Amino acid sequence: MTDTTPAVILASSSRYRRELLTRLQLDFTCQSPAIDETAEPGEPPLQLVQRLALGKARAVAEQCRQASLVIGSDQVATLGDTVLGKPGDASRASYQLQQMRGRRIEFLTGLCLFNTARHSQQVEVVPFSVKFRNYTDAEIERYVAAEKPFDSAGSFHSEALGVSLVESMSGSDPTALIGLPLIKLCEMLRQEGIALP
């Protein structure tokens, strides 16, 4: 990194997002944003993930002392009009997975790249759709015990054992499903002058 190259900061404590960003072979640091992630009354899921991705990036950007590109991201899973957040524990994870059985779930991933030098941002939402198969309660129990998906929207880890619960998937960027849409992020970074590859 030269003096004119901005620092790249991932505004997240998520190991999944950190592992994804490592694929781009950029030097980056991670900083956990301290923001309230509660949805506002009547807030649509798409608006929620946009607001939270931008909020995370801005919260970290405000603490930067040098020119930086700050990446914020947030994800929700939606079942019709119901938002499926992070379950937090085994019983909630099992309940979510029972509701998702045989249904199509839309995962919405908000992405923001905030440039502290120009105080400008790029914000996008990348959707990804998953059709879950009609799995059994015993399969749910085994999956939850093995995977412990308590920190993922909809109790679903597509990059691991969760793929065994799936009938089909559709979307433009499979990394969006894991929580950081790399195709869109690469486009944003190139617009900021970052050479990729």
- Rounded CA gap, 188 and 8, in Å? 12
CA distances from 131 to 26, 54, 135, 166, 190 (A): 34, 29, 12, 6, 33
Residues 36, 74, 151, 173: which is the catalytic one? 74
Q: Residue 119: helix, strand or coil by DSSP?
A: coil
CA distances from 107 to 71, 110, 141 (A): 19, 10, 23
The H-or-E segment that residue 17 falls in is helix 15-22
Q: Residue 155: helix, strand or coil by DSSP?
A: helix
- Rounded CA gap, 142 and 184, in Å? 34
Is 137 a residue of the active site? no
Contacts of 169 (CB under 8 A, 6+ apart): 128, 129, 130, 131, 158, 177
- Rounded CA gap, 184 and 177, in Å? 13
- Token duo for residue 81: 């009009």
Residues tagged active-site: 74
